[in-house]
Amino acid sequence: MLAKLIPSEDDPSTLVPDINTDLILFDTLQKLPVGGIVVFLLMALAVVLVAIFFVTGADSASIVMGGLSEHGAEEPTKKAVIFWGVATGAVAAIMLLAGGDQPAEALNGLQNITIVASLPFVLVMLLLCVALWKDLSRDPMMIRNQIARHVLEDSVAQGIDRHDGEPFELRTVEAVIDVKPLHRSHDATEQDGADEISAPADPSPQEPVDEGKDPSGN
């Protein structure tokens, strides 16, 4: 049995399990139907995995705080990373030592402080979600998808009207579009105007002259 049953504080007639969250993992491993050596190896593996989890988490937090302290640097210096790592570990150690003979109480206090301190970041996360939604709504792929859907719906509607409800098919044809520059420089505009002014006017059309007649009319 992993936990003892003790009377509840609210209702002494009700029994509740007394679970020690600090040792529940190791108690669970000891209850497995395997040999002692296997249990020892599983406990050692669990300790190593938990240590890796905390080390990688602390390292990531140190890098993030180092980048923020250096005005958003993507690769903060090692001094900044080491400083924030030592500072974070020192705060945790001081909180545990402040608990005296009951370090579990200090650990619970540290957890509560962490939860309260992270509460304002909920608003930041909500604002980040709104910013992400706005950015994705202006993404070229999303705009291309919306335009393609709109064009397809219009094409189907026009096809139904044109064929009076008879079956028809849609085909796509590659269109060649000649794109001309919309903005021209001021010098080029003046040069074009000068060319137009200096160009002579076309002569007025003349009537053809019959070779058998005198041009003077005689």
User: What's the chain's average pLDDT?
Assistant: 75
Dump pLDDT digits (tens) for 79-108.
Answer: 999 999 999 888 878 777 776 666 667 677
Residue 169 pLDDT greater than 50, yes or no: yes
Q: Which alpha helices (DSSP H) does the chain contain, by range? A: 24-30, 36-69, 78-98, 103-118, 121-137, 140-163, 186-198
How far is the C-alpha of 46 from the C-alpha of 44, rounded, in Å? 5
d(CA 67, CA 55): 18
The neighbour count for residue 84, using CB atoms within 10 Å, is 21
Residue 114 and residue 108 in contact, taking contact as beta carbons nearer than 8 Å: no
> Quick one: pLDDT at residue 198?
42
CA pair distance 213, 176, nearest whole angstrom: 55
**27-104-101 Cα angle (round to 5):** 115
Report field, pTM of the whole predicted structure over 0.85:
no
Q: How many CB atoms lie within 10 A of CB 9?
A: 8
What whole-number distance in Å separates Cα of residue 153 and Cα of residue 56? 52
- The pLDDT score that the predictor gives to residue 36 is 84
DSSP assigned state of 32: S
Question: What mean pLDDT is predicted for residues 172-180?
Answer: 69
**Token digits of residue 161:** 């009207």
Model confidence pLDDT, tens digit, residues 118-136: 888 889 899 999 999 988 8
Q: From CA 192, how far away is CA 185, in angstroms rounded?
A: 11
pLDDT computed for residue 207 by the predictor: 46
**CA count, 13 A, side-chain hemisphere, 213:** 7
